[in-house]
């Protein structure tokens, strides 16, 4: 973008995976389709009820905070954020204002301002007729909010941050963060400026996919530039994203935080994290699984191309399968060969298989890691050709079986028996006197053609290296 510099800061909400809601015992079940079944007097805001803090949710946020190297609060409290709307039964949302659970940290090279915990609102739908419906199953579900510093400078980097956060939440088991299901929701704050001073900030809401994040930011940056170039003034406001028209539209002038009249919730005890044994940072840091960026580094150090590494970084099931296969192979050359057959051939079979979902498939139920590594070993040892490996892989995937038995049954074991191959080579030499003459005249490259004839004659089962050496011997 021209001489303007783009500045973007993100606010991302993610529903956390817990058994119960943030402040009561109602079930937290994002897949519940029947409206208003997971509710109770607390999340329905009946007078006289008292909230209690769900430590599972607090722990998730502390784990995320540790993973991004943020500063975990010792003292924390919950505040009431007051506003009136049908999706917020109490007339306020319990959130955190002055004392968030986490301050600072970095993710994907982006500085984090804070991570705090709040409760989700009910889900309202306005598209059923000339009335609105409210489903309170979601009201009170633990919601993590992460706010970044205004240090992102492109739509792509913004979307990359959101993707890395999703991956982190999934890796930590903190949430599914499925954007299509509304489990993760991105708000982008955007401004442009020619100088070091920030320009007017606009906040875009309702970004329900990574594509929407990229498109909406790109749209908004272009809109700002056009306005400024034509001498118009931008207003600080909240805008929505129209998925169909692919435009942003004005929703409301930005409210200031004092409009929310934040104050500490008197019903909820203050948190003193150091007094809770299971929230000890030392213990939590030790309990963290391999984080996405750690896995990325480990795999690229092993020699994987970054796009191959990414398949395993992004898909836990594939990564587990790969790790098992690597252990069985125990050899770097075989490992890299396995990566190839995994990320191109086996991945292709899975993608074409409508009965499974790529991201969640348990591949070992299709091909046990032991069979897969046996197949790769055969390919690596030259017992079967790469063509044959792919064919056997397909049969293994569709019908199962033992790789070696299949290779025999399908006639794909490479023939390395010199006696048998020599007679085939002789027949080819006899039938191709022109080519043989070329070879003898110094055009050595035609040997590839002859080897090809040998492969054809053996229906692909001749070992090309052995064939080549026999040709060389007989023509030498």
Chain positions contacting ligand ADP, by CB under 6 A: 7-11, 147-150, 189-191, 198, 201, 254, 257
CA 87 – CA 136 distance, rounded (Å): 8
* Least gap, CB of 145 to ligand ADP (angstroms): 10
Nearer to ligand ADP, 113 or 343 (CB): 113
Query: Smaller CB distance to ligand ADP: residue 210 or 449?
Result: 210
Q: How far is the CB of 94 from ligand ADP (least distance, A)?
A: 18
- Of 377, 422, 372, 425, the closest CA to residue 401 belongs to 372
Task: Provide Rg for the chain, Cα atoms.
Answer: 30
Instruction: Count other Cβ atoms within 10 Å, centred on residue 231.
Output: 6
For the chain, how long is the longest CA-to-CA vector? 101
Q: Compare residues 11 and 71 and give the one whose CB is closer to ligand ADP.
A: 11
Residue nearest to ligand ADP (CB): 9
- The 3-state DSSP class for residue 417 equals coil
CB of 180: closest distance to ligand ADP in angstroms? 23
Residue 194 C-beta: closest distance to ligand ADP, Å: 13
Nearer to ligand ADP, 166 or 458 (CB): 166
Compare residues 10 and 14 and give the one whose CB is closer to ligand ADP.
Answer: 10
Residue of 111, 135, 132 lying closest to 121 (CA atoms): 135
Residue 190 or 369 having the CB closest to ligand ADP: 190
- Element (DSSP H or E) covering residue 283: helix 281-287
User: Whole-angstrom distance between the N-terminal and C-terminal Cα of the chain?
Assistant: 64
- Dist. CA 426–CA 475, nearest whole Å: 10
Cβ burial, residue 244 (10 Å; 0-12/13-18/19+) = exposed
Nearest distance from C-beta of residue 195 to ligand ADP, angstroms: 12
- In the bound complex, what is the minimum distance in angstroms from residue 147's beta carbon to ligand ADP? 5
CB of 11 to ligand ADP, least distance (A): 5
The residue (of 193 and 281) whose beta carbon lies closer to ligand ADP is 193
Kindly state the tokens that stand for 395.
């049969």
What is residue 397's three-state secondary structure? helix
> Helix/strand/coil (H, E, C) string of 325-340?
HHHHHCCHHHHHHHHH
Q: Which is nearer to ligand ADP, 21 or 239 (CB)?
A: 239
Which residue(s) pair with 240 in the sheet?
249
Q: C-beta of 248: minimal distance to ligand ADP in Å? A: 15
CB of 188 to ligand ADP, least distance (A): 8
- For 1, the 3-state DSSP assignment is coil
List the beta bridge partners of residue 79: 95, 264
Q: Judged by CB, which is closer to ligand ADP: 147, or 328?
A: 147
* Residue 293 neighbours by CB distance under 10 Å: 16
Question: From CA 379, how far away is CA 316, in angstroms rounded?
Answer: 26
For tokens 């001489």, the residue is 3
Minimum CB distance to ligand ADP smaller for 149 or for 242: 149
The neighbour count for residue 356, using CB atoms within 10 Å, is 15
CB 36 to ligand ADP: min, Å: 32
How many other C-beta atoms are found inside a 10 Å radius of the C-beta of residue 421?
A: 22
């Amino acid at each position: 973008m021209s001489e303007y510099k783009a500045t973007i800061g993100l606010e991302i909400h993610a529903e956390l995976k817990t058994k119960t809601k943030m402040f009561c015992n109602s079930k937290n079940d994002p897949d519940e389709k029947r409206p208003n079944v997971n509710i109770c007097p607390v999340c329905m805001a009946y007078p006289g009820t008292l909230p209690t803090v769900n430590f599972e949710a607090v722990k998730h946020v502390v784990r995320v905070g540790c993973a991004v190297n943020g500063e975990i609060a010792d003292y924390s409290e919950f505040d009431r954020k007051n506003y009136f709307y049908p999706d917020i039964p109490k007339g306020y949302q319990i959130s955190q204002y002055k004392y968030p659970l986490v301050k600072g940290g970095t993710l994907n090279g982006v500085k984090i301002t804070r991570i705090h915990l709040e409760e989700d609102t009910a889900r309202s739908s306005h598209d059923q007729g000339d009335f609105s419906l409210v489903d309170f199953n979601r009201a009170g579900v633990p919601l993590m909010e992460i706010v970044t510093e205004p240090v992102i400078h492109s739509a792509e980097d913004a979307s990359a941050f959101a993707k890395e956060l999703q991956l982190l939440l999934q890796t930590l088991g903190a949430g599914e963060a499925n954007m299509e299901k509304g489990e993760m929701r991105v708000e982008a704050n955007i401004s442009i400026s020619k100088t070091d001073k920030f320009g007017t900030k606009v906040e875009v809401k309702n970004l329900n996919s990574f594509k929407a994040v990229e498109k909406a930011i790109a749209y908004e940056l272009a809109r700002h530039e056009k306005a400024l170039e034509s001498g118009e003034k931008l207003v600080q406001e909240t805008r929505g994203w129209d998925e169909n028209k692919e435009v942003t539209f004005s929703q409301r002038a930005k409210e200031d935080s004092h409009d929310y009249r934040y104050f500490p919730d008197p019903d909820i005890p203050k948190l003193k994290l150091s007094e809770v044994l299971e929230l000890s940072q030392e213990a939590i840091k030790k309990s963290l699984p391999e984080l996405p960026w750690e896995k990325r580094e480990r795999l690229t150090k092993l020699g994987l191309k970054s796009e191959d590494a990414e398949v395993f970084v992004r898909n836990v099931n594939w990564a587990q399968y790969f790790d098992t296969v690597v252990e069985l192979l125990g050899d770097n050359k075989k490992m890299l060969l396995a990566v190839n057959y995994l990320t191109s051939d086996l991945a292709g079979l899975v993608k074409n298989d409508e009965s499974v979902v790529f991201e969640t498939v348990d591949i070992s139920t299709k091909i046990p890691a032991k069979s897969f590594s046996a197949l790769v070993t055969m390919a690596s040892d030259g017992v079967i050709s790469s063509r044959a490996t792919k064919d056997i892989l397909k049969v293994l995937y569709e019908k199962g079986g033992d790789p070696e038995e299949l290779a025999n049954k399908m006639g794909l074991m490479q023939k390395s028996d010199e006696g048998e191959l020599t007679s085939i080579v002789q027949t080819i030499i006899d039938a191709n006197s022109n080519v043989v003459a070329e070879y003898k005249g110094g055009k050595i490259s035609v040997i590839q053609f002859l080897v090809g004839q040998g492969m054809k004659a053996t229906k692909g089962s001749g070992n090309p290296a052995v064939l080549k050496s026999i040709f060389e011997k007989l023509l030498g």
